[in-house]
Structure 1
């Protein structure tokens, strides 16, 4: 039975949805809060910061998982649940051991890569980040049929080849696939 209380709740939902929150730039020196929601089929995350007793949204992202991502995510979470890391010490959340370091010489490049595939085409994305912070993005379309795992391998190999072609001697490889790394 629809009554006044139902109508009031409905009107409140309409009001909230018709005036979405505005993003705010972060304020240096104030802590950030990360809110994360993950279900079997989707995830959402919000980065916020409390300024003058008011919580402000800095960034928000949401994603509905595709079928293969649900399977991949379940495999990763099952692996992590079966292989927990023992905590050796409790970290003081407000202590940053390197907070007084102003500058560090770094000649290590970062290499990120990922694959993309669907029923029509396959491709890889590569991102090299120089020690100076400059970004070198590369995307490559593969002209042959491959599985998702093979596409991950291609992305890794092309990223490594690109880094070596640029004369990179030290780089740190970042990837979300344990299959490729192991």
Structure 2
């Protein structure tokens, strides 16, 4: 989950959000995530974009994913994700309902009873190479299934990336 947090699971500041929304204004949001199941579940990347930009946006997302699988996160990205997790994880047991949910997950996934105690330590000890290896173990760009809904229209080229979000194209 640490690798996904950096790719697209964490909203703003993720690789996908940076490339698709912040630099090009192609979508209001792009998110990635694993669907947890006892057996291997699906990994999804979700976004909405204008029909005339759909093919280029899909190619951009595929390129970002392929690059991420090849290089893994940077040290800074991993450090930022660890810092974010250390701030947000305590909230996952903030209420009785949260605790019941965590205990249910421990039982469902047959995790050790020490899971909540061990999770933070294990997460904080992750290296860039471990994250990259885990991503490549579970994800493969050649096994992707693409689902697209919307009209088939002539395509337009993607805007060049910009570091100034105010200059993004309008009408996403």
Q: TM-score, normalised by structure 2?
A: 0.20
**Greater share of residues in helix:** 2
Structure number with bigger Rg: 1
**Greater share of residues in strand:** 1
Which structure is higher in RCO with an 8 Å CA cutoff and minimum separation 6?
Answer: 2
Q: TM-score, normalised by structure 1?
A: 0.19
